[in-house]
Amino acid sequence: MKPWLTYIRVIVIAVLAVIIVRTLFVTSCFIPSSGMENTLYRGEGVLVGKWSYGWRVPLQSVFGYKRLLPDDVKRGDIVVFNNPMPADTSTAVDGRELYISRCIGVPGDTLMLNSQLIAEGSDVFSPDTKALYSYPAEAEESVCDVLNSLGIKGNQLAGYTQEGNYIRSFSYYEHYLVTQRLNGKVELLPLYPEKSRKSYPFVVPGKGVPVKIYPWNAALISNMITLHEKRKSYLQGDTVYVDGKPQKEYTFSQDFYWMASNDPVNISDSRLFGFVPENHIIGKALRIWYPARKGRFMQKIQ
């Protein structure tokens, strides 16, 4: 065989090998912004494992969404995914721009957010964030009964106000549960109203699990049904209509995730585009192959 034919064969085999590896196993992307600093810096190239959560079959517009050997996204993973809310929603999912963020909410989790999904200061509420509340001393027995019925243990009195009211510390989610159970019989007042933030529980949807629709999540759920379920949905008042029928709850056909940037000022994450559906997930960011700083070559991303 002539030498030039050998060279051509080697080149063709090398190109095919690269294509196969990039298509089936590993791809790469560059960090476009400072949103993930100090974990990842702008301009760094990262390797993304396409099998991290099962291999997503390409050409979704042709074959539909399929994933071989699927696995769950873990809380804390840094994930690469397609833009869930592009300017042109007719663009195929796997043809949209790439985003990278840390997953902080998996199906079944409850996140405390304001009704616009953006908390004061652009930070995301955690269900465990604590605040102090006061209530009349004569309501102590009722409050204790509710705490016991909800299985909230170890919540001790934090003190007393000058007026003699009792003070307890509740997380945002505990406050929501206790208030619902008290049903207006006792009012839990924030001890420092100027620091209190109106937040609501948002359940991260899971496949096949009904999600209740409330006034604070109605707009988000209606948008998700339109964008990701491809069904006709609209909001009238606080009521979500799907295919012309009012809904009190909705069951989604796939899992969703809440993604957050490291930088609270950079909101190119779920605060901007809501929950990320599983069919938009590409894979887990594994290692840095093009470092922006010394000593970071092939550093594990975590």
pLDDT of residue 123: 43
pLDDT of residue 195: 53
> Could you write out the DSSP letters of every residue in the chain?
--HHHHHHHHHHHHHHHHHHHHHHTEEEEE--SSTTTTTS-TT-EEEEETTTT-EEPS-HHHH-S-EES--PPPTT-EEEEE-SS-SSTTS-GGGSPEEEEEEEE-TT-EEEE-TTS--GGGPPP-TT-EEEEEE-GGGHHHHHHHHHHHT--S--EEEE-TTS-EEEEEEHHHHHHHHHHHTTSS--EESSGGG----EEEEPP-TT-EEE--TTTHHHHHHHHHHHS---EEEETTEEEETTEEESEEE-SS-EEEEE-SSTT---SHHHH-PEEGGGEEEEEEEEEE-SSTT-TTPBP-
CATH number, domain 126-195: 3.30.70.250
pLDDT of residue 87: 81
Name the β-bridge partners of 259. Answer: 103
How many Cβ atoms from other residues are within 10 Å of residue 45's Cβ? 15
For residue 256, give both structure tokens: 């969703």
pLDDT tens profile 5-37: 666 665 666 556 555 555 556 788 888 777 787
pLDDT of residue 302: 83
pLDDT of residue 121: 37
pTM greater than 0.85: no
- The CA distances from residue 5 to 1, 9, 10, 19, 261, in Å, are 7, 6, 9, 21, 50
Domain coordinates in residue numbering, the chain: 3-117+258-290, 126-195, 210-251
pLDDT of residue 131: 78
Mark the ranges of the chain whose per-residue pLDDT is less than 70.
1-25, 114-129, 172, 194-198, 263-267
Amino acid in position 56: R
pLDDT tens profile 111-125: 877 645 543 333 444
CATH 2.10.109.10 fits 3-117+258-290, yes or no: yes
Amino acid in position 126: S
Beta strand residue intervals within the chain, DSSP E: 26-30, 45-49, 55-56, 67-68, 78-82, 98-105, 110-113, 130-135, 157-160, 166-171, 189-190, 200-203, 210-212, 233-236, 239-242, 245-247, 249-251, 256-260, 276-277, 281-290
Among all chains, which residue has been given the structure tokens 């509740």? 170
pLDDT of residue 126: 46
- The CA distances from residue 119 to 122, 186, 291, in Å, are 5, 27, 33
Q: Could you give the angle at which helices 172-182 and 140-150 cross, rounded to 10 degrees?
A: 110
Residues 132 and 192: their CA atoms lie apart, in Å, by 7
Helix (H, G, I), strand (E, B) or coil at 281: strand
